[in-house]
């Protein structure tokens, strides 16, 4: 009987051990219309303005009298483990830029939107800045160290997480660098897991989708005003 209890505790403790996650972004289907503006846009890799502070004390959940272990990660892609997942194969500066290209090009607001490290000969340049990808998690042991997972089996929460994504965008004329438009967006999501209902904590593609859809709507609103404030393409 004792062996069965120990095996159950071990199985519960391993329930939070997750697999490696890979960034996958799925844009909205392409709009069936002509471009609203006859302008081309270059999107370079985003600037990284995040803090350099990762605190990983997740294994404190196994220490006697500690109610939980925790993580507070400014750059979570560098951690090899998270509450419910393993390592994340994700390059925020480049992956978010390419996701922006996919979303805006499909929205058919501009004649062409392309990823470019230098800007090329596009009419406009859309610059992005990654301000936050903050990730916070807790793994609950209820002060019982490695026996805390017994509470999980009984239905108590096993862990929780909060993801935050903050992106800033700036649209410039590619020739003279004049700023035409800029805006900052922020989205968050938080979930609690039970061993019978484990939540995926790599939710940044979902947060990016919400931000980029709003970005497309905002730029589309500019286009609906006949591109007021934007230059006329000379190409």
Q: Is 171 a member of any domain?
A: yes
Q: Is 24 a member of any domain?
A: no
Q: Is 177 a member of any domain?
A: yes
**pLDDT on residue 214:** 98
Q: How far apart are CA 80 and CA 76, in angstroms?
A: 9
pLDDT at 226 over 70: no
Domain extent at residue 34? 2-16+30-224
pTM above 0.85, yes or no: yes
pLDDT at 165 over 50: yes
Q: Is 231 a member of any domain?
A: no
Q: Is 111 a member of any domain?
A: yes
Residue range 40-72, pLDDT digits in tens: 999 999 999 999 999 999 999 999 999 999 999
Q: Is 232 a member of any domain?
A: no
Q: State how many domains the chain has.
A: 1
Which CATH number goes with the domain that contains 114? 3.40.50.10610
Q: Is 181 a member of any domain?
A: yes
How big is the chain, counted in residues?
235
**pLDDT on residue 11:** 44
Residue range 134-144, pLDDT digits in tens: 999 999 999 99
Q: Which two tokens stand for residue 145?
A: 């160290």
Nearest to 203 by CA among 215, 187, 214, 184: 187
Q: How far apart are CA 9 and CA 15, in angstroms?
A: 10
Q: Is 22 a member of any domain?
A: no
């Amino acid at each position: 009987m004792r062996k069965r209890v120990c095996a159950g505790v071990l199985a519960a403790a391993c329930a939070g051990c997750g697999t490696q996650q890979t960034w996958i972004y799925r844009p909205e289907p392409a709009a069936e219309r002509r471009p609203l503006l006859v302008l081309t846009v270059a999107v370079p890799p985003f600037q990284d303005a995040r803090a350099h502070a990762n605190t990983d004390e997740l294994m404190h959940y196994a220490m006697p009298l500690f109610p939980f272990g925790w993580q507070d990660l400014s750059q979570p892609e560098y951690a090899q483990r998270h509450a419910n997942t393993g390592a994340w194969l994700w390059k925020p500066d480049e992956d978010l830029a390419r996701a922006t290209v996919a979303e805006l090009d499909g929205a058919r607001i501009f004649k062409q939107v392309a990823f470019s490290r230098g800007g090329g000969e596009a009419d406009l340049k859309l610059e992005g800045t990654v301000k936050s990808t903050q990730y916070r998690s807790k793994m609950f042991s209820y002060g019982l160290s490695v026996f805390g997972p017994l509470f999980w089996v009984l239905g108590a929460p096993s862990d929780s997480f909060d993801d935050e994504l903050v992106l800033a965008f700036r649209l410039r004329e590619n020739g003279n660098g004049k700023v035409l438009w800029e805006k900052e967006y922020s989205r968050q999501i938080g979930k609690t897991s039970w061993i019978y209902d484990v939540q995926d904590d790599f939710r940044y593609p979902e947060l990016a989708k919400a931000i980029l859809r709003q970005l497309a709507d905002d730029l589309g609103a500019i286009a609906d005003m006949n591109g007021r404030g934007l230059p006329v393409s000379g190409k």
